Amino acid sequence: MNATDVARLLAGEHRDPHAVLGAHDATGPDGPAVVVRAMHPDATAVECVLRDGTAVPLAPVEPGLFAGVIAGAALPLAYRLRFHFADGSTWERGDPYRFLPTVGQLDVHLFNEGTHRRLWEVMGAHPRTIDGESGTAFAVWAPTARRVSVVGDFNGWDGRIFPMRMIGSSGVFELFVPGVEPGALYKFEILTQDGALRLKTDPFAFAMEAPPATASRVVRQDTYVWQDAAWLEARARRDLAREPMLIYEVHLGSWARVPEEGDRPLTYREIAPRLVEHVKRLGFTHIELLPVMEHPFTGSWGYQVTGYYAPTARYGSPDDFRYFVDTCHAAGIGVILDWVPAHFPRDDYALRRFDGTALFEHEDPRLGEHPDWGTLIFNYGRNEVRNFLIANALYWTVAFHIDGLRVDAVASMLYLDYSRRPGEWLRNVHGGRENLEAIAFLQAMNDAVHAEAPGAITVAEESTAWPGVTKPTSEGGLGFSFKWNMGWMHDTLSYFAVDPIYRSHHQNTITFAMLYEYTERFIMPLSHDEVVHLKRSLLEKMPGDRWQKFANLRLLLAYQYTRPGKKLLFMGTELAPWNEWNHDVSLDWHLAAEPLHASFGFYVEQLGRLYREHPALWRRDYDPDGFRWIDVADAMNSVISYVRHDGDDHLVIVLNFTPVPREDYRIGVPAAGMYVQLFSSDDRRFGGSEVVTPTTIDTEPAAFHGYEQSVRLTLPPLGALVLTLRG
């Protein structure tokens, strides 16, 4: 036994406590033997209890350190330790220091080079049974730490009891602790290079305490029995670019609450059937959840993550969340998660300066601090950080069967000068403003998700004109499946906020997005960001009196549903609420009982049915031949018209953005025959007006708008018409 090792161990600074503790070969008076060493700072005596029940006393070597020779024994030796304390109590447990490493050399090699695609199967806390002892294997990355210990409710949160060993020079510390069962709470105590003690939650924790508590929780990962094999098999064969995609964006904590129980949010299991029934009725194909990863501040809506691998405990356990996903899949509904690899909060119990250094973030604030949100930016150039995030993307898509990740704040990742003034940022190695490490990370993440989770999609929330966001990485693109069209959302809402009397001066605002429509595969969102922070609800954004506000909102959705691109609506839009979204309360479900709001809900339902039932509205979203303007230039009347094509099938859409009915309004149409009014946003069932529009219209052989045939229509005020050619 090396005296230096003993001194370092007792001082709490040893990176390999197994070199001293546990069972080791020795020579006794009668030949080969095994020496067993154990440590507990408060023990007065220790016994080594062999498998046959024999108790061998261990003698004190130094205060808190005990050793004894087992004559005639050989390695490997199975035993337990019995500690005695001054108050007469005892503690018998398996010895963590008799076991071989639970993390393999190949695992740490792949992690250190940033390529371990199943990293969650290695890092974190994993219940298992080794040599007859049930317990938990812990592993954490803290390369500059002088010592790392696992602490928890199983050892009095005392960092002196279970110090961990580093695997070679990998920076990965591991320890198998017998007796630690699922449900146990734990953290890591880290002694930094400057001698400070830091108490940290596990970056790979698969569950955590419900906020404001912050401990990690041991859970099993193999207990849920999935029922969605058919869904996953079908998903792998699908091409969502050519399918209907109508997304319902949800904040789980405020969709509905239980007023009889302190207005608490619904749990994952409670909300699943109710939410699924609701979105199915409205015609949605997917649910997108604001981040469900554990986060301390409810007001961040999940966008400031402290537990990247842990579904928030606010609504239940990880298996409860799996049940939520499974329930959605059983009903044919896909699940997309918002995911935040751009930044993380400064909460000191989490990732910030994890081992006493800028481990996950950059040391230089010009690279590592986010000026907009007061958060820290991941160091994408570090292999292990990149692996932590890529494996996290795979964890949700593989271990939770998630169908897609919407990646938040991509624009902030791409540019080194994002929201920074001159002198506040550093150029890349080529002298440019592009964040080359972040670009490489996003490309690697997209490739990994598409390879490991067939059919799963990735979506970029990216608000700039960065080229090739949805182009394959093999062609130099970022590799996303879709991109949010932030420009469309901004321009469209800006246009609709204008009083109709002035809209003729803003016609280009509503049509501009078509100029770049086919540069990417877009999703058109009307998201949560547009109904918070005094931006007002969608209904309140609309100009005019009460009737005109509802008519404008119906027209807005008709435009969104009928133009190219996939669609996203924030929860509650179907209720047409007057108030902004408030994450602390339920949606205004009482509005569904009021006639005009009920009519609007029925409108959203029928609009969803129209969208789902007509492939011309989605099959060729990303093919320029799937869309053609009829008339984009009638600014005087504030009317636009266009055709959506699916081969020979087509729909004609006409939108009147003023409250003035347009009689005898002529437009060109692609074919001769009879056109049938398929849908009108002005239908009285939807709360529309008294203006009567013909349900069938015969074409006339009068050339107009570049077509040989034309029709004369009556356009309802603030209304949308959808026409189809009768076969």
Interatomic CA distance for residues 717 and 722, integer angstroms = 14
Other Cβ atoms closer than 10 A to 30: 8
135 and 212 inside one domain = yes
646 and 702 inside one domain = yes
Other Cβ atoms closer than 10 A to 429: 6
120 and 90 inside one domain = no
Element (H, E) at 33: strand 31-39
- In the chain, helix, strand, coil percent, each to 5? 30, 30, 40
pLDDT at 4 over 90: no
Q: Which two tokens stand for residue 173?
A: 């510390």
Task: Please write the tens of the pLDDT for every residue from 264-281.
Answer: 999 999 999 999 999 999
Domain boundary among 184, 217, 250: 217
**141 with 203: CB under 8 angstroms?**
yes
Element (H, E) at 62: strand 55-62
Other Cβ atoms closer than 10 A to 633: 12
Quote the pLDDT of residue 1: 64
Interatomic CA distance for residues 106 and 447, integer angstroms = 22
Give the pTM: 0.96
76 and 149 inside one domain = no
Mean pLDDT of 329-355: 97
Task: Please write the tens of the pLDDT for every residue from 202-248.
Answer: 999 999 999 999 999 999 998 999 999 999 999 999 999 999 999 99
HSE-up of residue 723 (Cα within 13 Å, Cβ side): 31
Mean pLDDT of 615-639: 97
Mean pLDDT of 337-346: 97
> Pairing between strand 566-570 and 246-250?
parallel
Residue 458, beta-bridge partner list: 405
Q: Which residue has the tokens 């993440």?
A: 445
Task: Please write the tens of the pLDDT for every residue from 546-603.
Answer: 999 999 999 999 999 999 999 999 999 999 999 999 999 999 999 999 999 999 999 9
Quote the pLDDT of residue 177: 98
What residue type is 505 in one-letter code?
A: H
Interatomic CA distance for residues 422 and 379, integer angstroms = 21
pLDDT at 616 over 70: yes
For 162-231, the DSSP string reads: -B-EE-TTSSEEEEEEET--TT-EEEEEEE-TTS-EEEE--TT-S-BPPTT---EE---SS------HHH
pLDDT at 303 over 70: yes
Position 138 in a domain: yes
The Cα-based distances of 117 to 168, 216, 261, 414 in angstroms read: 21, 23, 42, 23
> Pairing between strand 286-289 and 246-250?
parallel
Quote the pLDDT of residue 215: 98
pLDDT at 11 over 90: no
Domain boundary among 39, 72, 94: 94
Position 198 in a domain: yes
Interatomic CA distance for residues 207 and 120, integer angstroms = 13
Task: Please write the tens of the pLDDT for every residue from 367-376.
Answer: 989 988 999 9
**What's the whole-number average pLDDT of the chain?**
96
357, exposed or middle or buried, with CB in 10 Å at 0-12, 13-18, 19+?
middle
What is the Rg, in whole angstroms, of the alpha carbon atoms belonging to the chain? 31
Position 13 in a domain: yes
Mean pLDDT of 140-144: 98
Catalogue the E-assigned strands of 562-648.
566-570, 627-631, 639-646
Mean pLDDT of 652-676: 97
Interatomic CA distance for residues 603 and 283, integer angstroms = 11
For 280-315, the DSSP string reads: HHHT-SEEEESP-EE-S-GGGTT-S-SEEEEE-GGG
Position 32 in a domain: yes
Mean pLDDT of 700-705: 96
Split at pLDDT 50, 70, 90, the class of 360 is very high
CA 382 from centre of chain: 22
Q: Is residue 515 classed as helix, strand or coil in its secondary structure?
A: helix
Interatomic CA distance for residues 457 and 445, integer angstroms = 11
Domain count, the chain: 3
pLDDT at 727 over 80: no
pLDDT at 27 over 90: no
Interatomic CA distance for residues 727 and 724, integer angstroms = 9
Q: Is residue 443 classed as helix, strand or coil in its secondary structure?
A: helix
For 140-154, the three-class secondary structure string (H helix, E strand, C coil) is EECCCCCEEEEEECC
Interatomic CA distance for residues 250 and 325, integer angstroms = 14
* Measured distance between the N- and C-terminal CA atoms of the chain, rounded to whole angstroms: 92
Residue 163's domain comprises 105-217
On the question of a cis peptide bond just before residue 273, with omega within 30 degrees of 0, the verdict is: no
80 and 129 inside one domain = no
pLDDT at 93 over 70: yes
| Cα maximum dimension of the chain | 114
Q: Is residue 113 classed as helix, strand or coil in its secondary structure?
A: helix
pLDDT at 673 over 80: yes
CATH code of the domain containing 144? 2.60.40.10
Position 559 in a domain: no
Position 677 in a domain: yes
Position 662 in a domain: yes
90 and 116 inside one domain = no
CA 556 from centre of chain: 28
Element (H, E) at 6: helix 3-10
Mean pLDDT of 676-699: 94
123 and 25 inside one domain = no
CATH code of the domain containing 660? 2.60.40.1180
What residue type is 572 in one-letter code?
A: G
58 and 115 inside one domain = no
Position 567 in a domain: no
81 and 110 inside one domain = no
68 and 166 inside one domain = no
Q: How many residues does the chain have?
A: 727
Q: Which residues are catalytic?
A: 408, 461
Closest CA to 415 of 463, 453, 447, 449: 463
pLDDT at 702 over 70: yes
Q: What letter would DSSP give residue 581?
A: P
7 and 76 inside one domain = yes
Domain boundary among 217, 242, 274: 217
Closest CA to 482 of 591, 380, 390, 618: 618
Closest CA to 667 of 625, 614, 721, 615: 721
**625 with 690: CB under 8 angstroms?**
no
HSE-up of residue 195 (Cα within 13 Å, Cβ side): 1
Mean pLDDT of 23-34: 86
628 and 713 inside one domain = yes
Closest CA to 207 of 331, 293, 98, 114: 293
Quote the pLDDT of residue 5: 84
